[in-house]
Amino acid sequence: MKRSNWCAELSPADAGNRVRLSGWVNRRRDLGGLIFIDLRDRTGLVQVVIEPDNADAFATAERVRSEFVLHVSGTVRERPAEQRKGSGAGAVEVVAEELTILSEARTPPFLLDGSIDASAVSEELRLRHRYLDLRRPAAAAPIRLRHQVTKAIWDHLDSRGFIQVETPLLTRSTPEGARDFVVPSRLSPGEFYALPQSPQLFKQMLMIGGFERYFQIARCFRDEDLRADRQPDFTQLDIEVSFVDQEDIISLNEELISFILERTHGEAPATPFPRLSYADALNRYGSDKPDIRFGLELKDATALFRESGFQAFSKAIKAGAVTKVLPVPAEDAAGVSRKVISELETHAKQHGAGGLAWLRRSGDGFSGPIAKFLDNELAGLRELAPDEGDLLLFVTADWTTACTALGAVRLLLADQLGLRSGPGFSFLWVVDFPLFEQDEEGGLSYMHHPFTMPVTEDVHLLTDDPLAVRAQAYDLVLNGNEIGGGSIRIHDPEIQKQVFEVLGFSDSEARERFGFFLDALEYGTPPHGGVAWGLDRFIMLLAGTDSIRDTIAFPKNQSGDDPLTGAPAGLEPEQLAELALRVAE
């Protein structure tokens, strides 16, 4: 069964050599007199020829079907010039001397030989037979890339003195803004472990423990409503470093990304990566993870409409709203019909806007449903739309909603204009986040997590004006996707207490949830900070696929189920009893 060579590594240089190969039948062609088998191993394909005068092998080959597992011994020969595909394995074939069937295979539920496009097969079917799907080189490629990326991470961080430490999976809740997945304890009936939303507190305690430089390829679990690119269990690259400031963490990340991309793509991105403040990101792009590969920047038109005869705007502005405008130049606006505008409006409404007003430059004035209300604004509007056919799209709402709704319109429009599919990697840091945000109940919640350090000059605002406090936090964005985020942490127990107070945790609540950590902070905590990347999403973008499921060997589907194993599944009554659990009707 041993092999002497890998299929796809054969080449004309091997002509005349006897080789032993093992692998799967990618495809078999029976030309009556001759049988051809494309044999596949982890490296790729080579053609095997079985000639009729080799009666034993020929009889075996006649039984062979797709995906049978074979061992072949034979001699390499060059293919005739007109049949060559390239200069490697496609330029040779192996004339079989012996052919052994190591395993037979049922007819696969979908073809794996590359003759059909995988997207024609339902993802559910492919996930149910993921072990077969992974035999397709296109399905295996992101998994191999993932290995290369994690290897590069290990190599680079190890060379910088980092060590990889595993933190517990059965633990207590870590607040990252999602629900916990919980695991019942059999030995302590009625008590539950939480699976980590991140290793946050453990990595901070490793800093208190003196390691100074930590990383982990960490499995994390967040019970959130599923979206296309979310998985309930996912992987982070988790990093923490002592005696650093924000600049150190940012340059560490830029070096690491350069190292990875040089290995995987042969080219590092330009550094330093551009930076935007959170406020600018929202103001200019309507997103805290802006795609800056194209322009279409938002502008503010609040002043223009403050005294406007268009009361829908002026009244709202007087009540505190802002008007944001997305100017679309005529060459892009040409294809934006009324139908497209109404699709954009639906999208804006889904993002909280009351509507999407529009104007199109026509001569000295404007056309569009709100044009008749306008007069004093015209000069200002002409500046926003200087050329015939330029289009202006407006949302009036509170600042965040106006920005994000118009930002969503910007992205949808860019998709339709084909501006988002360009090659290349456009990294960006978003910095200067607020530490807190208003939550739905009118209280304050943390924007990142409650262990994030305020900007030093803002600490005095914690009590009087917490919403004005900026965080020493940073998000890493790639092509409009948030791929990472982190912060400098609070290492002063007093500040940590103040932050908990702002968040409305009473002393006893804070002690109940994080007492162990608050204690640890009091034993000599070095200044420290770190970051975590969503590794699945990062690899998705590097691989150029559009689903994080492609980067995970055994992913869940979009409902969080695993079609292969059938998880999640019910429990036997005995198991429930052992765990002291009863399922509610």
Angle at 516 between CA 515 and CA 521, to 5 degrees: 95
The C-alpha atoms of residue 398 and residue 405 are separated, in whole angstroms, by 11
- Residue number with the shortest CB distance to ligand ASP? 198
Nearer to ligand ASP, 194 or 344 (CB): 194
Binding mask 519-538 for ligand ASP (x = CB under 6 A): -----------xxx------
- 446, two tokens: 């943390």
Check binding of 167 to ligand ASP (CB under 6 A): no
The count of chain residues that interact with ligand ASP, using the rule CB under 6 A, is 11
Q: Looking at 90, 466, 486, 555, which residue binds ligand ASP (CB under 6 A)?
A: 486
Closest approach of ligand ASP to the CB of residue 184, in Å: 25
Nearer to ligand ASP, 234 or 294 (CB): 234
Nearer to ligand ASP, 257 or 532 (CB): 532
Task: Give phi and psi for 497, each to the nearest 5.
Answer: -65, -45
Closest approach of ligand ASP to the CB of residue 195, in Å: 13
Q: Say how many C-beta atoms besides its own lie within 10 A of residue 352's C-beta.
A: 15
Closest approach of ligand ASP to the CB of residue 311, in Å: 44
The amino acid sitting at 246 is: Q
Closest approach of ligand ASP to the CB of residue 176, in Å: 5
Residue 298 CB partners (closer than 8 Å, separation 6+): 283, 284, 285, 286, 324, 325, 326, 403, 406, 407, 410
Q: Which residues are paired to 235 by β-bridges?
A: 219
Check binding of 196 to ligand ASP (CB under 6 A): no
Check binding of 198 to ligand ASP (CB under 6 A): yes
Angle subtended by helix axes 507-521 and 200-208, to nearest 10: 40
The amino acid sitting at 563 is: P
Binding mask 227-246 for ligand ASP (x = CB under 6 A): ---------x----------
Check binding of 404 to ligand ASP (CB under 6 A): no
The C-alpha atoms of residue 243 and residue 172 are separated, in whole angstroms, by 27
> What residues between 174 and 193 interact with ligand ASP by CB under 6 A?
176
Q: Which residue, among 196, 195, 207, has the nearest Cα to 165 in the 3D structure?
A: 207
Angle at 259 between CA 258 and CA 263, to 5 degrees: 110
Nearer to ligand ASP, 73 or 251 (CB): 251
Closest approach of ligand ASP to the CB of residue 473, in Å: 8
In this structure, are residues 227 and 218 in contact, taking their beta carbons and an 8 Å threshold? no
Residue 402 CB partners (closer than 8 Å, separation 6+): 321, 322, 323, 324, 353, 395, 396
Task: Give phi and psi for 445, each to the nearest 5.
Answer: -130, 165
Pairing between β-strand 233-242 and β-strand 275-277 as defined by DSSP bridges: unpaired
Among the listed ranges 120-128, 156-164, 387-395, 481-489, the one in contact with ligand ASP (CB under 6 A) is 481-489
Check binding of 408 to ligand ASP (CB under 6 A): no
Check binding of 487 to ligand ASP (CB under 6 A): yes
Closest approach of ligand ASP to the CB of residue 210, in Å: 19
Among the listed ranges 434-442, 483-491, 495-503, 576-584, the one in contact with ligand ASP (CB under 6 A) is 483-491
Q: Which residue, among 439, 454, 523, 509, has the nearest Cα to 487 in the 3D structure?
A: 454
Check binding of 72 to ligand ASP (CB under 6 A): no
Q: Looking at 44, 454, 485, 563, which residue binds ligand ASP (CB under 6 A)?
A: 485
Nearer to ligand ASP, 38 or 180 (CB): 180
Q: Looking at 5, 200, 283, 496, which residue binds ligand ASP (CB under 6 A)?
A: 200
Check binding of 223 to ligand ASP (CB under 6 A): no
Q: Show the 3-state SS of 160-197.
A: CCCEECCCCCCECCCCCCCECCEEECCCCCCCEEECCC
Nearer to ligand ASP, 370 or 532 (CB): 532
Closest approach of ligand ASP to the CB of residue 199, in Å: 7
- Using CB under 6 A, list all residues that contact ligand ASP: 176, 198, 200, 236, 449, 485-487, 530-532
